[in-house]
Each structure stands twice: as structure tokens, then as C-alpha cells.
A and B are shown apart, each in its own frame.
Chain A
Amino acid sequence: MNHDKELDARGLNCPLPILRTKKSLSELGSGQILKISATDPGSVKDMQAFAKQTGNELLSTAENDDEFVFLMRKG
């Protein structure tokens, strides 16, 4: 799936991936998609919780090797 912006949050730990995601989303318009790469295993649950509470939509979560890739659509 295409995305409008990419965030590299690899190597960062809680709560930085969420804080950077929030910042990156603020630079997007409604409906645009952010791709986030992270290595923090806690971010899988945190991204779901973040999306649920902020009205953004978590489109997908993928894991390859020790890396997680999220696609989030700005609400």
C-alpha cells in the first residue's frame, strides 16, 4: 500500500515511537497514510492503543525479523 510519509522509529523505546508518530501525523492531512518502522516489541500493542484513543486508523501491522512496520491513516 502507498504511503504519504515515513517514520523511522527503529532503535527507539517507549514512549518515543508513539511521541514521534503523533508528531509525524500532525504534519499530514486527514486521510493520508504514515508508514512507521519500529523495533520496540511494546510498540505493537501501543500503536493499537494510540490509534484507538486518537481517532486514527491502524491499517496494518507487519513483522519481519525483529522489525515492525505499521501503516496508519490519519483520522
Chain B
Amino acid sequence: METKRMAIIATKGTLDWAYPPFILASTAAALGYEVQMFFTFYGLQLLKKDLSGLKVSPLGNPGMPMKMPFGPKWFKGVNWNIPNAVQALVPGYENLATSLMKQTIANNGVASIPELRELCVEAEVKMIGCQMTVELFGFDHREFMDGIEYGGAATFFEFAGETDICLFI
């Protein structure tokens, strides 16, 4: 049986949007796919050595439930509908939302992003950083994990053109 291949372009740099690319890449690798991930624009944040800066923002995100990861069951079920104007004005609101989300993630037995990324590395998922964005955002290669390559759109197509599944996330 010929090896299936999947390519993913990861373009988002928040804690919530870090999940889909790493979940799909690690699972595809477990299913025997050869996987390549191309990280561009905000997606480059997912390649940082230190991933503790990833945050989630409920501001302007009506799809995100705001529920508490602790307390009795009825309390956990309450969806805190906090107006955007309040979210924008309260200092540290994003940090609070991020730590609540991390707690919810842990409570539900969902892997952390560093753990999922490590599983991808172990499964030999190839990761490529967009060199143009590195320069555009004034990043330094030393900020990113070791063992990744840097390239541009043509580098992505070299692999993507021969894939069974190709996703833009």
C-alpha cells in the first residue's frame, strides 16, 4: 500500500487554534501518513521554543463559551456572557481566560500543546517555518525549536502537490 501524505498550513497563533493542526498531524502520523506542516504568519508562534505565550481571547469571539473549570456542576454549566466592552477594559482579562482554558483542557484529559507538538516530532512530522514571515515579524531563528526547516511558498508546494489531503488552518 502506498504511503498517504498530508500537508497542513498553520496560520493561527492562539492557544485554541493551535489544537487543530497538531491534533490532525499527530493522528495522521499515527495512521501511517507522511505529514508536513508549514507555519506561516501567526502560525509561527506554534514553532516557538517556549509555547507558554500562547493565549486565547474571548474578546470578539461569540462562539467561545465562558465556563468555569471548577466548582459544583451547576456552576460549571453557567455560560458567563461578559460584554465585549468589559472584556476590553478589564486588565488581564485575556490572561484570566487563558488560565481558565488551560485548566479546562487539563480537566478534560486533553493533551497540552507542548505535548501534542512533541508527539508530532516523535512521529517525524516535518515542520517548516515561513522564512518570509520570520523576517516580516522580526523574529530570530533562535526563538524557534531546533530541527525545523525554513522555506517559502515554493517549498510548501513541492510536498503539497503530491498529497492526498491538504489543509489550510
A residues whose Cβ falls under 8 Å from a Cβ of B: 11-16, 18-19, 21-22, 39-40, 50, 53-55
- Are A19 and B26 interface neighbours, CB within 8 A? yes
Q: How many A-B pairs fall under 8 Å by CB?
A: 35
The B22-55 residues at the A interface (CB cut-off 8 A) are 23, 26-27, 30-32
- Are A13 and B26 interface neighbours, CB within 8 A? no
- Are B32 and A53 interface neighbours, CB within 8 A? yes
Which residues from chain A contact B27 at a C-beta distance below 8 Å? 15, 18-19
Which residues from chain B contact A39 at a C-beta distance below 8 Å? 109
B153 is an interface residue with CB less than 8 A from chain A: no
B89 → chain A closest CB, angstroms: 35
B119 is an interface residue with CB less than 8 A from chain A: yes
B residues whose Cβ falls under 8 Å from a Cβ of A: 1, 23, 26-27, 30-32, 108-111, 119
A12–B112 Cα distance when bound, in Å, is 12
Which residues from chain B contact A13 at a C-beta distance below 8 Å? 108-111
A18–B111 Cα distance when bound, in Å, is 12
B65 → chain A closest CB, angstroms: 17
A13–B110 Cα distance when bound, in Å, is 5
- B32's closest neighbor in chain A, by CB? A54
- Are B109 and A40 interface neighbours, CB within 8 A? yes
- B111's closest neighbor in chain A, by CB? A16
- Are A15 and B32 interface neighbours, CB within 8 A? no
- Are A11 and B119 interface neighbours, CB within 8 A? no
